[in-house]
Amino acid sequence: MATACVVAVTGWTAAGYERLVAVPHAADTARVAYALDLVDRFDDTPAHKAYVEL
């Protein structure tokens, strides 16, 4: 019985960590990577040069 409780608590802990820490961190990393990609694409365009000249 105690072993089953330890296994259950371990599973709930791993799931909670994934839900509260790992997944949000991965989502934040993806957002940052996407934003940096947009900046890299926009950086050398005529629109960016016009914005800088304003």
pLDDT at 21: 86
Residues in the chain with pLDDT < 70? none
Model pTM above 0.75: no
Indicate the number of domains in the chain.
1
Residue 19 burial (CB < 10 Å; 0-12/13-18/19+)? Answer: exposed
- Residue 38 counted as domain residue: yes
- Residue 54 counted as domain residue: yes
pLDDT at 32: 92
pLDDT at 24: 87
pLDDT at 52: 84
Where is 6: in which H helix or E strand? helix 2-17
Full residue range of the structural domain in which residue 54 is found: 24-54
pLDDT at 33: 94
- Residue 46 counted as domain residue: yes
- Residue 11 counted as domain residue: no
